[in-house]
A and B are shown apart, each in its own frame.
Chain A
């Protein structure tokens, strides 16, 4: 019997180097005090390896892993697949499947969906889902607005097959709107911008933020409007799929973009009276890592509390979004 997919363990790591947002107003609005920065010479894959080793050190068995999923937009190479390099470095059995998938802030939800599919169709029993991101390497050092928001991190989640019929990860909704692709983009580095000079085309916007071809561009206002459009709708869709009401949800954990965006999303989603995670102070926006980091912190803070139905919503670059419910009562 295939069994039901459950989140068994989650672990995260943050690079040691820290940048501080010193402006008090910026801190109040974004909620971000510190951001961790991946050093020169180290990559997202190196951090993912550390996060996975931490998970193994806490009792997960590397020999049992039969599928490795790696979510990143900062791969080591265009090819080969970074997940294959990680299989070797982590000494995961060669019988395991491994693949990368390129998503940002919605990535953890998609990873859970893929893991559930693999487990509940009997293709795998123990899936290692890794997320790692180093947006700091994409951001121009003088793009202070973007730089003050993003932090680097990596996470490792073990999703395993559990006997029984009760769902552990369920009520998925997905969404994609590629018409907004240019609102959050690194325009070079892939084949489309292959002939462009990575360091060329330096531009300064009306606020003095700099950017070159190879840098991350984010239209903050457009991303805010996108989130306000899709997240409240996704909340309703997940509740409807699960046949639950707002009060049945033990915690709402959305992608931790920044404090003021989380505040507006809470208001627009009618969740002001519901338990709602909002903590970016020591991390900033860590892209695909933000939800697993929040879940780890939530489990520490609310240990023993009613966490059978925790709603997760991820949204961002793509534009892409996704939501689901997870039962954390078996997560250790």
Chain B
């Protein structure tokens, strides 16, 4: 998955948010990064990237870019 594809999926599918995000966006400042988005991210990583990611590590991530790293 390219960075562009990832950002689109994060914005439209996982976060369901109108305002644009970047790899540098802080998760603390994204209101939509809640329990629902967390479950969505786990599911997106599984279906789109075939990855079973560490839940605790995802919860400790600080930026959108750090979430992208889990899919590599």
Judge whether B34 is part of the interface by a CB distance below 8 angstroms: yes
Which residue of A145, A205, A264 contacts B46 across the interface (Cβ within 8 Å)? A264
Q: Which residues of A contact B43 (CB under 8 A)?
A: 224-225, 228, 260-261, 264
Chain B, range 9-53, C-beta contacts under 8 Å to A: 16, 32, 34-36, 38-40, 42-44, 46-47, 52
Q: Which residues of A contact B40 (CB under 8 A)?
A: 29, 260
Chain A, range 1-23, C-beta contacts under 8 Å to B: none
> Nearest chain-A residue to B41 (Cβ)?
A221
Indicate the member of B32, B39, B46 with the most A CB atoms within 10 Å.
Answer: B39
In the bound assembly, the distance between CA atoms of A225 and B59 in angstroms comes to 16
In the bound assembly, the distance between CA atoms of A224 and B38 in angstroms comes to 11
- Mask: chain A, 98-130; 1 = CB below 8 Å from B; 0 = not: 000000000000000000000000000000000
Q: A28-B16, A206-B59, A220-B39 are in contact. Are A268 and B34 (CB under 8 A)?
A: no
**Chain A interface mostly helix, strand, loop or mixed?**
helix
User: Interface extent on A, as a size class?
Assistant: 20 to 34
Which residue of B16, B36, B52, B55 contacts A145 across the interface (Cβ within 8 Å)? B36
Which residue of A26, A205, A222, A228 contacts B36 across the interface (Cβ within 8 Å)? A26
In the bound assembly, the distance between CA atoms of A264 and B42 in angstroms comes to 11
Instruction: Work out how many contacts link A and B, with CB atoms closer than 8 A.
Output: 45
User: Interface extent on B, as a size class?
Assistant: 10 to 19
Asked if B46 and A221 sit within 8 Å, CB to CB, the answer is no
Chain B, range 41-72, C-beta contacts under 8 Å to A: 42-44, 46-47, 52, 55, 59
- Least CB distance from A274 to B in Å reads 16
- Least CB distance from B24 to A in Å reads 23
Asked if A221 and B55 sit within 8 Å, CB to CB, the answer is yes
- Least CB distance from A218 to B in Å reads 10
Asked if A264 and B47 sit within 8 Å, CB to CB, the answer is yes
Q: A260-B40, A267-B47 are in contact. Are A209 and B32 (CB under 8 A)?
A: no
Chain A, range 186-235, C-beta contacts under 8 Å to B: 205-207, 209, 220-222, 224-225, 228
Which residue of B16, B35, B44 contacts A25 across the interface (Cβ within 8 Å)? B16
- Least CB distance from A9 to B in Å reads 36
- Least CB distance from B62 to A in Å reads 15
> Nearest chain-B residue to A266 (Cβ)?
B47
Q: Which residues of A contact B38 (CB under 8 A)?
A: 220-221
Q: Which residues of A contact B16 (CB under 8 A)?
A: 25, 28-29
Which residue of B35, B52, B59 contacts A220 across the interface (Cβ within 8 Å)? B35
Asked if B47 and A225 sit within 8 Å, CB to CB, the answer is no
In the bound assembly, the distance between CA atoms of A268 and B52 in angstroms comes to 14
Indicate the member of A205, A207, A225 with the most B CB atoms within 10 Å.
Answer: A225
Q: Which residues of B contact A30 (CB under 8 A)?
A: 36
Q: A28-B16, A264-B47 are in contact. Are A224 and B42 (CB under 8 A)?
A: yes
Shortest 9 CB-CB distances between A and B: which pairs?
A: A220-B39, A221-B42, A264-B43, A207-B35, A221-B39, A268-B47, A228-B46, A145-B35, A224-B43
25 A-B contacts (beta carbon < 8 Å): A25-B16, A28-B16, A29-B36, A29-B40, A30-B36, A145-B36, A205-B35, A206-B59, A209-B35, A220-B35, A221-B38, A221-B39, A222-B55, A224-B39, A224-B42, A224-B46, A225-B46, A228-B43, A260-B39, A260-B43, A264-B43, A264-B46, A267-B47, A268-B46, A268-B47
A interface residue numbers (CB < 8 A to B): 25-26, 28-30, 145, 205-207, 209, 220-222, 224-225, 228, 260-261, 264, 267-268
B interface residue numbers (CB < 8 A to A): 16, 32, 34-36, 38-40, 42-44, 46-47, 52, 55, 59
